[in-house]
A = this chain, B = another copy of it.
Amino acid sequence: MNIEPQSLEALIGEFSSLPGIGHKTARRLAYHVLTKKRSDVERFAENLVNAVDRVHPCPRCYCFTDEDLCPVCKSRPDAKSICVVEKSSDIVPFERSGIYKGSYFVLGGVISPLDGIGPEHLHLPELVKRIKEESIEELILALGSSPEADSTALMLDRMLAGVNVKRTRLARGIPMGSDLEFVDEVTMLRAFEGRVCL
């Protein structure tokens, strides 16, 4: 016999639709919600709708914001470098490390024909326009290290033919705190190729 009330099943379904949440975890979360105070659950529901209502892409860099311009674009309007990332959340580790004081640009993905994502789905023309208009001096590609990211970088390179801008990408190598024994082959290959003089 199915003993789960319909409204509970509906909630389990909602949690299941989130990435990385299986049916068992979704059930655990839904049962947990039932133990919460009504006011807390109401606030959760409000925050869900508020987030989609208020958050939108920044018109200058396409990172998520709930203001007219994102905090970075607001505070660094004259930055002469752009760090290009795939998605909005990729900006967080940069700002947490505090190493970078320039502006960002969220591409909205990488070219991936298998997933049906072509150059027309990304903000590539907007990026090229910004580089030209703001006379950007350095373009830092921080697109991850997949073949798709590499072909996106290549496409961007072609679109920037004739534009005088320094192009760099993040260093690839051994991450902090990792045991050499467990480093994968590709990382080792790149770390070796990119070795630097002491």
B-contacting residues of A (Cβ < 8 Å)? Answer: 1-8, 10-11, 13-14, 18-21, 25, 27-34, 36, 38, 41-55, 63-67, 70-72, 75, 87-89, 91-92, 95
* With A38-B53, A51-B11 as contacts: A18 and B45 at CB distance below 8 Å: no
Q: Is there an interface contact between B20 and A54, defined as CB atoms closer than 8 Å?
A: no
Q: Is there an interface contact between A10 and B92, defined as CB atoms closer than 8 Å?
A: no
Per DSSP, are chain A's interface residues mostly helix, strand or loop, or mixed?
A: helix
* Number of identical protomers: 2
The smallest beta-carbon distance between A72 and chain B, in angstroms, is 6
Q: How far does the alpha carbon of A41 sit from the alpha carbon of B91 in the complex, in Å?
A: 25
Looking across the interface, which residue of chain B has its beta carbon closest to that of A63?
Answer: B3
Q: Is there an interface contact between A5 and B55, defined as CB atoms closer than 8 Å?
A: yes
Residues of B within 8 A of A29 (CB): 18-19, 21
Contact of A7 among B18, B31, B55 (CB under 8 A): B55
Q: How far does the alpha carbon of A55 sit from the alpha carbon of B49 in the complex, in Å?
A: 22
20 residue pairs of the A-B complex, CB under 8 angstroms, read A1-B72, A2-B95, A3-B63, A3-B65, A3-B91, A3-B95, A4-B92, A5-B55, A5-B67, A7-B54, A7-B66, A10-B47, A10-B50, A10-B51, A18-B29, A27-B89, A36-B52, A41-B49, A44-B45, A45-B49
Q: How far does the alpha carbon of A36 sit from the alpha carbon of B41 in the complex, in Å?
A: 20
| A-B contact sample (5 more), CB < 8 A, given A3-B91, A28-B89, A31-B88 | A3-B92, A5-B64, A19-B28, A33-B52, A44-B45
Q: How far does the alpha carbon of A30 sit from the alpha carbon of B54 in the complex, in Å?
A: 13
